[in-house]
A and B are shown apart, each in its own frame.
Chain A
Amino acid sequence: MRRNVRLISYAIFTSVIFLLGSSLLYGLELAELSGEIVFSSNRSGSWRIWMIQADGSNLRQLTDGKEDENDVDPAFRKDGKEILFTSTRGESVGIWKMSINGTNMERICDGDQAEWSPDGNKIAFRREESIFTRDLISNVEKKISPDDWPHCSGPAWSPNGKTIAFACRWDEENALFTVNADGGQPVKVYDKKGACEPHWSPDAKLLVYETETHICTIQPDGQKNRLITYWGGIQRYGQWSRDGNHLVYCQGVSENGPWELYIVPSGGGTAVRLTEGDSDMNPDWH
């Protein structure tokens, strides 16, 4: 009898959870979120790399430098132990890496907009508006965007390491593409509304990207295009949480900012502000 009561109670409990589950998913409390978000900010003057817990606590500055040096575009290595970033330190714009506490800075090469391969042994990056990969052990580089493609940007490595998504601008329109990580003929994903800045979901089923005004998701085959943010102002730089349930992005009053970080459920829903004051951009979430 006790077993039956337990079974029925379990059935009712699981059913209620089943019914409410989706609505819980779309409600959002910062306190329930975990992980760390790294971003660039001008809150201390020049652009520096900062970090904050996803629940909004423990805001701290990771990089410092001379007044005329700026650090932007941070990206976590998959194990969360190192961060890539772009810096104007030294003579030319270059890709740097450091430990997550801001120590052990090391310049890797010229370029910007770098992202780690899933195994952390390579990076994909932009140089002179072309997309390259670089093996961090052998230092061998490979150009993976076609020679005659102008204005390529924002490479993003797929979770299985086999494909790279990026954007390319032709005349007036941006488009999203995927290409084999070893190079080859890129395949168009989507070419409307200035689509750029793609990033893969952890399960590789979706790409998040930005239009001229909003954050959207789309399947890598170009299907199921979906608007995730539709607020006033401008939304940019969408990035996934580790579990793929949320997105962090920048919200600006206009194209010129100022920018604040917000978090929104990755299926859409109510957005919650994570940071405010000055401008915060280029978030990445580990």
Chain B
Amino acid sequence: MKHVKLLYFLFFTFIFLIRFSPIVQAQDINQRIQETGAPFTYVLDTNSISTNPISTQTLNKKNGWTLLAEDDTAHPFKGDVVFLNDKIAVIVRQKSHGVEIYSLIDGQSARRATLFAQTSSPETLSSLEILENNPGAVEIKANYKIISIGLRLTTGERSLEILPSVETDRLRIESLCEYVIVPDFFSDDMVFSADAFDRDSIRLPTAKFFLQAIHGGDCMMMGVWESDEQNTRLILSGSGAARKIEATEIECKEGRKIWLALMENANLWHCANKQTIPPSIGENWSPPFSANWRMNVLQNGGMAKSFPFSEPSLQEQAQASCLIYPIDRDRATPLTTICPIDIMRNTLGVGPCQYILAAEGLGSDANPTTEQVTEWVERQFERKRETRYKDQIIVQFTAMTNLLTETEKRIERYQVLTNELSASCQNEARAHPQMASAVPPLLAILANIDNAILSKRDARKSPQYAVQLSDQIVSLIGKEDGLSVCQKLGDQLRAIGLAQDSTLSKCRMMARWFLQNCWMIAERTPEVSATMEKVITHAENLLKSKP
């Protein structure tokens, strides 16, 4: 009996040790992660310093690594630092100033990117601090000679939060990127491939995010940053067939976070390149999950025409190269699938509508768009409570028509920008003959802004007309059969809002395209760079000025 008790004690002690030991070795780490089943973030010490990036096999096995206990923030690292959740692993190596990022998919890893916090000279790691270590989040601060970089990974999320120190100039992201996409939720995207430019470094016309289509088609990476004053660059290298996207760079600003998100799914993005890939690849492809998929028909130099994707629409683009990716979820999108708009909400905290209004200086808490207000008013009519809520209906309509007025003013500002920039370009061309060949393409872009404004002028009506429509709806309050008339008038108001959104998006996109071309001219032709800078500053000031 004594032996049985001893056996019982030893057995329980053994079980307890393997279950709760803070330091777990080798494959026990993976076993423990699987056993808990709960979402997690963990920090590990590899116990040896690696001079090369850690292989995916080594990361999968974790042999000889030490798993730090929860809240252990004073661990003296013998090797390199690994921290992870169930979707992303981040490795900070002692012998590298790069931070390596891996996707984790069903227990296997895939190296996706390396981050470099850049200053004027390269630096190696000098020290590491663990700021937070628990199943909810891990935060690590990597200190280099001059700069430091904060890295935060939260349970279950697909994005790494990055906070570079004030001395950091820019964050360089190296990956096997095939396309860089600058999405626009209401207008056309811009899509840049390695052969888009002949320069090796070019500024990108981004606002606060870009997407990268990673080689293989199963991964898209999204970079998000907090300020539209943070510029970005595309770094290219090689020539001919060897030309490739080397990296992207995001400018750092004091106290501004940057996020890097990895979206993973088999066939997540697809390029139907009819000229270089057997057509059957494009024809056989179909979206791997339900979502709002966007198809970009690629044009020269990064321009694209964007459409909601449907399989017949792919067939129609027989001779064009098309890039297809999921932009937003729908009701049938799997819960665990993340789209770019999800990442935008999770990082910047706003959806597309608030984003475009905020970008144009028109954002507000109330967000009284024609869509929202007319839908709410129609609901009051449907439920026959429009009389009770008459005052609120008037308040809502006032806010809505004010927004329509401000938006129309913003569109007029684009018209002014176009006229002023056209004049400016022509003046500079007259004063500097070397600018002559560069100016016509710029004027063509400006003409496109003009066209966008003019083509929807009728559809946008006028703010005064919108006021008349809303007054007519208010006059229906208390009348029999008011709902059907209210809906017809509501449709007209929604059409005005839609035309404004579309015009504003096209203007903004073309203005960014104009800047992109100015940057290229300035970099390609140094003798006109000073002149182009004047045009660029003029355009940027007009874009930034709020109504």
B330 and A253 contacting across the interface, CB-CB below 8 Å? yes
The answer to whether A120 has its CB under 8 Å from any CB of chain B is no
Q: Chain B residues with Cβ under 8 A from A80's Cβ?
A: none
Q: Which 10 A-B pairs have the closest CB atoms?
A: A26-B37, A226-B136, A230-B156, A68-B385, A268-B39, A232-B342, A23-B37, A231-B335, A68-B383, A15-B15
Known: A4-B4, A230-B157, A268-B155. A46 touches B383 (CB 8 A): yes
A residues near B, CB below 8 A? 3-4, 7-8, 11-12, 15, 18-20, 22-23, 25-27, 46, 67-68, 88, 172, 193-194, 212-214, 224-234, 251, 253-255, 258, 262, 265, 267-269, 271
B340 to chain A, nearest CB (A): 10
The answer to whether B38 has its CB under 8 Å from any CB of chain A is yes
Max count, chain B CB within 10 A of own CB: residue among A68, A193, A213, A230: A230
Known: A8-B7, A15-B12, A253-B329. A232 touches B335 (CB 8 A): yes
Max count, chain A CB within 10 A of own CB: residue among B7, B156, B365: B156
A91 to chain B, nearest CB (A): 9
A23 and B36 contacting across the interface, CB-CB below 8 Å? yes
A232 and B36 contacting across the interface, CB-CB below 8 Å? no
Q: Chain A residues with Cβ under 8 A from B384's Cβ?
A: 67-68
Known: A22-B35, A230-B155, A265-B38. A224 touches B134 (CB 8 A): yes
Set A251, A262, A269: member contacting B38, Cβ < 8 A: A269
A123 to chain B, nearest CB (A): 26
Closest to B132 in A: A225
Known: A68-B383, A234-B345. A268 touches B156 (CB 8 A): yes
The answer to whether B377 has its CB under 8 Å from any CB of chain A is no
**Size of the chain B interface, CB-CB below 8 angstroms:** 40
Known: A27-B37, A227-B156. A7 touches B4 (CB 8 A): yes
Closest to B350 in A: A212
A271 and B335 contacting across the interface, CB-CB below 8 Å? yes
The answer to whether B256 has its CB under 8 Å from any CB of chain A is no
B245 to chain A, nearest CB (A): 27
B44 to chain A, nearest CB (A): 20
Alpha-carbon gap, A233 to B328, bound state (A): 9
Q: Chain B residues with Cβ under 8 A from A230's Cβ?
A: 39, 154-157
B136 and A23 contacting across the interface, CB-CB below 8 Å? no
Q: Chain B residues with Cβ under 8 A from A224's Cβ?
A: 134, 136
Closest to A88 in B: B385
Q: Chain B residues with Cβ under 8 A from A7's Cβ?
A: 4, 8
The answer to whether B339 has its CB under 8 Å from any CB of chain A is yes
Closest to B1 in A: A4
Alpha-carbon gap, A233 to B335, bound state (A): 8
B345 and A269 contacting across the interface, CB-CB below 8 Å? no
Max count, chain B CB within 10 A of own CB: residue among A194, A225, A258: A225
Q: Chain A residues with Cβ under 8 A from B342's Cβ?
A: 232-233
Known: A265-B38, A267-B38. A253 touches B156 (CB 8 A): no
Bitwise interface map of B from 125 to 157 toward A, beta carbon under 8 Å scored 1, else 0 = 000000000111100000000000000001111
B38 and A22 contacting across the interface, CB-CB below 8 Å? yes
A11 and B8 contacting across the interface, CB-CB below 8 Å? yes
Alpha-carbon gap, A152 to B329, bound state (A): 32
Alpha-carbon gap, A20 to B37, bound state (A): 10
Alpha-carbon gap, A20 to B38, bound state (A): 12
The answer to whether B333 has its CB under 8 Å from any CB of chain A is yes
B154 and A22 contacting across the interface, CB-CB below 8 Å? no
Q: Chain B residues with Cβ under 8 A from A27's Cβ?
A: 37
Closest to A27 in B: B37
- 5 more A-B residue pairs beyond the given contacts A231-B338, A232-B338, with a C-beta to C-beta distance below 8 A: A26-B37, A67-B383, A227-B156, A233-B342, A253-B329
The answer to whether B351 has its CB under 8 Å from any CB of chain A is yes
Known: A11-B11, A227-B157. A251 touches B335 (CB 8 A): yes
B36 and A22 contacting across the interface, CB-CB below 8 Å? yes
Alpha-carbon gap, A131 to B470, bound state (A): 36
Alpha-carbon gap, A3 to B157, bound state (A): 51
Max count, chain B CB within 10 A of own CB: residue among A27, A254, A269: A254
Q: Chain B residues with Cβ under 8 A from A88's Cβ?
A: 385
Q: Chain A residues with Cβ under 8 A from B11's Cβ?
A: 11-12, 15
The answer to whether B336 has its CB under 8 Å from any CB of chain A is yes
Q: Chain B residues with Cβ under 8 A from A268's Cβ?
A: 38-39, 155-156
Known: A8-B8, A226-B155. A269 touches B339 (CB 8 A): no
B24 to chain A, nearest CB (A): 14
A227 and B154 contacting across the interface, CB-CB below 8 Å? yes
The answer to whether B19 has its CB under 8 Å from any CB of chain A is yes
Alpha-carbon gap, A256 to B12, bound state (A): 52
Closest to B345 in A: A213
Alpha-carbon gap, A213 to B345, bound state (A): 7
Alpha-carbon gap, A269 to B36, bound state (A): 10
Q: Chain A residues with Cβ under 8 A from B475's Cβ?
A: none
A269 and B385 contacting across the interface, CB-CB below 8 Å? no
Q: Chain B residues with Cβ under 8 A from A254's Cβ?
A: 351
B36 and A26 contacting across the interface, CB-CB below 8 Å? yes
Alpha-carbon gap, A234 to B388, bound state (A): 32
B339 and A232 contacting across the interface, CB-CB below 8 Å? yes
A105 to chain B, nearest CB (A): 20
Alpha-carbon gap, A187 to B408, bound state (A): 45
The answer to whether B76 has its CB under 8 Å from any CB of chain A is no
Closest to A255 in B: B351
Q: Chain A residues with Cβ under 8 A from B137's Cβ?
A: 225-227
The answer to whether B312 has its CB under 8 Å from any CB of chain A is no
B231 to chain A, nearest CB (A): 26
B12 and A11 contacting across the interface, CB-CB below 8 Å? yes
A7 to chain B, nearest CB (A): 6
Tell me which residues from 382 to 413 in chain B have a Cβ below 8 Å from any Cβ of chain A: 383-385, 388
Q: Chain B residues with Cβ under 8 A from A271's Cβ?
A: 335
The answer to whether B331 has its CB under 8 Å from any CB of chain A is yes
Known: A19-B35, A25-B37. A194 touches B329 (CB 8 A): no
Set A23, A172, A233: member contacting B365, Cβ < 8 A: A172
Q: Could you name 14 residue pairs across A and B whose Cβ atoms are closer than 8 Å?
A: A11-B12, A22-B37, A172-B365, A193-B349, A224-B134, A230-B39, A231-B336, A231-B338, A232-B337, A234-B345, A253-B330, A262-B335, A269-B38, A271-B335
A233 and B329 contacting across the interface, CB-CB below 8 Å? yes
Tell me which residues from 1 to 41 in chain B have a Cβ below 8 Å from any Cβ of chain A: 1, 4, 7-8, 11-12, 15, 19, 35-39
Set B39, B157, B331: member contacting A258, Cβ < 8 A: B331
Closest to B375 in A: A256
Alpha-carbon gap, A231 to B331, bound state (A): 13
